[in-house]
A and B are shown apart, each in its own frame.
Chain A
Amino acid sequence: MINQDVDVAVIGSGPAGLAAAVSAKQHGTGRVVILDRNSWLGGILPQCIHDGFGVEETGESMTGPEYAEKYIAMAEQQNIEVMNETMVLQFDRKREIIAVNKKGIYKIKAKSIVLAMGCREKTRWSAMIPGDRPSGIFTAGVAQAFINLYNLMPGKNVVILGSGDVGLIMARRLKFEGANVLGVVEILPYASGLPRNVVQCLDDYDIPLFLNHTVTSIEGRNRLEQITIAQVDKNMNPVLGTEKQIKCDTLLLSLGLIPENELSKNADIEIDEITGGPVVDQNLETTLKGVFACGNCLQVYDIVDMLALDAKRAGKNAAKLTTTKKRKTGIQFVPGAGVRYVVPQKVTEGGTTQLTLRAEKPGEVSTLRVIVNDKELFKKKLPWVNPANMIKVDVDIPSEVIKSGQSLEVTIND
């Protein structure tokens, strides 16, 4: 066992981990170490070769690899230590991390930990798609890695199920590589990816989007040969008689992302069932003292800019050991009508608190309200809402409200 003592240990070197580490260092902490499973830094960024990264954060539009490079350079400059090809096996409430790499097994004692493990893609079975089990079924991110990192062509005639951003981006990417992209199938009445991606990745290339449809069967004994799609009713059940067969050799799945929190769960950190990420307070501290969460393992973000800004806060708080007196005075944020979830899930001190949240469904002009004890604490008009676009607001919460112990309800009404 190789023993180490560090000030801040960051688990994951994707955009969140990098931003958190850089920020931790900037806020004057001593030894910062990033632990990452891959042989490279940047997590998923190196395979995201499309542009649009960093616009809101820096004003400059970069590709994923460029955006990663920017942070990697900062990390190098600040002498942040990196342990690559290093898998964290567990950590505990004493913030002792057990990790493994080719040099051996490590026990790393950290004053604080930043969780930045990212997320994974939902599989065929999360949507319970019946049929054969041929080759040619990939999650969109895996197909993206094959094409952009490994120079491998996973398909020729492709259908994409799910209109998440990765799926939309991959529709265009496959088209660029000469594949025949036959359509994107989405079970909801609206696309689940960003509107700009629907326009730039599908509309611009005449790729059809089948809304209110799903894949009802997969056929092919060896390689995929055909899928069946059908319209769905209000309860998402396929409508008999609307089935349509599509011959294809590849089905990409873009069914959504699940925060990776196996480590957090093993450490008994409380998880929000809706976000899939740890329950955090306004400092992004989890229910375990000294353990902070950021990035897609906290909640699935739609753009990297907002993710990085939050991650920097997590890094700063980890550096300053901004722990709060827990559970004694904290009050809850409760998602009310029209709101799917709110992060942070609780707040322990009065003052300006940044909320990130998602709407339940798309809508026109709406009003966001924060209500405590039937009284309106905060109100903001929104020109439109879409579940694909995360909403971010700063809300002033008076100390008396915290002391009252009442929970804060967040609602979005037309």
Chain B
Amino acid sequence: MKNFHVAIIGGGVIGSSIAWELSKYKLDVVVFEKGSDVASETSKANSGVIHSGINSPPSSLKARYCVEGNKILQSLANELGFPLQWVGKYVIAKNEEETKELERLKKVGIDNGVPGLEIKNGTEVTEPNVSCFAALWVPTAGIVSPYKFTMALAENAAENNVKFLLEAKVTNLKKQKDGFIIKTSKGDFQSPLIVNAAGLNCREIVSMVEEPDFQVYPCRGEYLVLDKKHSSLLNSMIYPVPPKELGVLGIHITPTIEGNILLGPSAEFIDNAENKKTTREMMKNLLNEAKEIIPAIPDKAVINAYSGIRCKLASPEDGGWADYRIEESKQTSGLISLLGIESPGLTGAPAIAKEVARMISQSIELKSKDNFKFARTKRKRFSEMSAKEQSDLIKKDERWGRIVCRCEQITEREVIDALSNPLGAKTLSSVKYRCRAGMGRCQGGFCTQHIVRIMEEQFNMDVKNIKLRSPDSNLFYGRTREVRDD
């Protein structure tokens, strides 16, 4: 049975941040991810916002990690080569009454140490498509691609010898004297330390070794994605004044790194954490609410819809707000759990990871690796290069000259690079989230067949193992006709 110093359960942004933080040290670390890729659940399906820290009460863990994470993110982006933009955000007040709420948010922000906050009157807001009474300008809010961020962390951790096991669902944990036996769908493993970063499944993991003292209240958020051609509708994020209940931020309008605009998320407590369905009512609702903020949003601009599930530790009856819990179990030593890591978890992830490393250092001495390598520097997309850069690359490798995804102008070489990721993730979504092939307005109508061909011909994948996203999401039922060998 393979033994590791640390076993992380969950390859979301939290698990991947912790894996990356630990990859700097001389440790054997493994990550178990039940999906076919990292960032396959909540970490992928959120607004991709780097929060400033104006929304969480001072002295909460949410506020602390958010503000700390916000400060680390730029250098992390430089080190790992994922894109990030400090677009800033406006929280808009529709009337004088709501302006009071802006004052309150500003005060919370100042208490949390958020710099540059400024209340502007409606005419000073530099968004031509938004009209409001007043707005709180938050210059330290930014955007990041949540899956690229997570993948960058995980891939660099893997390059520094963290073992990522995909499609490895943890089915049982057994505490023994010298550590845990971890049963997974990919075999059994041993480790004295478990980091439970299982997100929505955090309670299920805890209950494998002890009676959990908490409940998880899944809260679904639906989003709509707009065609890139409408990207000029706004420059910064636009948030309403947060609704009084549910502990959420309200339906906002967010530009993304890629140029699409996101509308959402809704907030709806649901019974089943796996119910990621989008609904007709909410899709309508999102569009209507977004149009109240930006009336110029056209009806037919939507090119995709999805939902993500927040992991909340407070029920709607209790107001939906609870702080994070990041702690080693008192009953089961060696089990470190990260519970209720919802927004601003994406922002807080790097700071949370440092905290977990500190906790681990209390039981294992952390010695820095001499050969730790940062990721390759950020590489431009083919479509972002000058003609000279493009020509030079094509001369080196003609696959740079073959466009596979026409909407996003993604080349064969970029698809091959995506499929060659150090995690070994090979679904259609793994390709899509790494290089954007299939993410444009035709949503894979033309490139799917070419990507499938590349998977078959250049990666020798069996057609029955070609998947959309998750372990059982096969695209094909084999050949229409078997080819005879003669």
Contacts and interface: CB of A to CB of B under 8 A. Distances in A.
Contacts of B132: none
Interface stretch (B100-108, B120-128, B151-159, B398-406): B398-406
A125 B449 contact: no
A130 B279 contact: yes
A156 B463 CA distance: 15
A177 interface: yes
A89 B383 CA distance: 9
Contacts of B358: none
A153 B480 contact: yes
B452 interface: yes
A135 B473 contact: yes
Given A130-B279, A130-B283, A141-B445, A135 B403 contact: no
Contacts of B402: 85, 101-102
Contacts of A139: 445
Given A102-B398, A221-B274, A87 B409 contact: yes
A142 interface: yes
Interface stretch (A144-152, A188-196, A370-378): A144-152
Interface in B262-278: 274, 276-278
Given A105-B390, A105-B391, A120-B446, A125 B468 contact: no
B470 A222 contact: yes
Interface in A100-156: 100-105, 120-121, 123-126, 128, 130-136, 139, 141-142, 145-147, 149-156
A103 B480 contact: no
Given A100-B401, A103-B401, A131-B278, A222 B445 contact: no
Interface string B171-212: 000000000000000000000000000000000000000000
26 contacts: A1-B391, A100-B394, A101-B402, A102-B399, A102-B402, A120-B441, A120-B446, A123-B445, A124-B443, A125-B302, A126-B300, A128-B280, A133-B276, A133-B306, A134-B473, A135-B468, A135-B473, A135-B475, A141-B445, A152-B476, A152-B478, A153-B478, A154-B477, A217-B277, A218-B277, A219-B277
A135 B469 contact: yes
Interface residues of A, number: 50
Interface of A: 1, 37, 85, 87, 89, 98, 100-105, 120-121, 123-126, 128, 130-136, 139, 141-142, 145-147, 149-156, 177, 216-219, 221-223, 238, 262
B24 interface: no
Contacts of A87: 403, 406, 409
Given A102-B402, A104-B401, A223-B472, 9 more contacts: A85-B401, A98-B387, A105-B394, A132-B276, A152-B452, A153-B479, A153-B480, A218-B277, A221-B274
Contacts of B476: 146, 152-154
B310 interface: no
Contacts of A222: 469-473
Given A130-B280, A146-B449, A104 B274 contact: no
A104 B391 contact: yes
